[in-house]
Amino acid sequence: MAGRPKSVSQTEKKVRVIACGMIGREVLALNRQLGHDHIDLKCIDANFHHHPDRIAPAVDRAIREAREEGFEHIFIGYADCGTGGELDKVCAAQGVERIEGPHCFSFYVGNRAFEEAGDDMMTTFFITDFLARQFDAFLIRPLGLDRFPELRDTYFGHYERALYLAQTDSPELEEKARAAAERLGLRFERQFTGYGDLEKALAQL
pLDDT digits (tens, 9 = 90+) for 59-114: 999 999 999 999 999 999 999 999 999 999 999 999 999 999 999 999 999 999 99
Q: What angle do CA 66, 70, 74 make, to 5 degrees?
A: 45
Query: Would you kindly state where each structural domain of the chain is located, as residue ranges?
Result: 10-99, 105-192
CA 62 to chain centre: 16
> Measured between alpha carbons, how far is residue 86 from residues 14, 175, 191 in Å?
26, 36, 31
How far apart are alpha carbons 78 and 58 in whole angstroms? 12
How far apart are alpha carbons 37 and 34 in whole angstroms? 9
Strands (E) across 36-153 are located at: 39-44, 73-77, 97-98, 124-127
CATH code for residues 10-99: 3.40.50.11610
pLDDT at residue 119, rounded to an integer: 82
Mean of all residue pLDDT scores within the chain: 93
pLDDT at residue 6, rounded to an integer: 44
Local confidence band at 7 (pLDDT 50, 70, 90 cut-offs):
very low
Indicate the pairing of strand 161-166 with strand 187-192: parallel
